[in-house]
Amino acid sequence: MPYGTPGEAIASRLLATPAVVALVGVRVTPSKPPQDAPGDYLVYYRSAGGGGMRLNGPAGLNAYSMRVDCYSETQAGAEAILTAVRSALGGWSDRANGVQGCFAQEDADEQVIDDAGGGVYQVSGQSFQLWYTG
């Protein structure tokens, strides 16, 4: 049975991956980071795609661009989380649940942000092309 949404598919996969959970626990959130979140975490969201709608409903297989941003107090921490994410999502398929394939894109990046509490976070991120029937 399909996950329901591409975001649910990504979250389920990440939360079922021991290497990801070892680094961020259950701090896997959609859309935006929690305010003043302690410790390391990651955020996922759909950045493009899913335009395969017709008058009679979804048109089967759709391509989504899903972004994952990994937050840590250190650059090494952010990179470790992103490495675990790449292992979890790169080449992943779960056809019985609607995931036909998931592939890393060529847009990995790094940035430094200041949070509202005065702390500094390192952020490493990457987009993934998710082929999904849901």
CATH number for region 6-132? 3.30.2000
- 12-53 pLDDT, tens digit per residue, is 999 999 999 999 999 999 987 667 667 899 999 998 887 666
- 58-94 pLDDT, tens digit per residue, is 667 888 999 999 988 888 899 999 999 999 999 999 9
Q: What is the pLDDT of residue 17?
A: 97
pTM for the full predicted model:
0.85
Contacts (Cβ under 8 Å, ≥6 apart) of 76: none
**Positive or negative torsion for Cα 4, 35, 42, 131:** positive
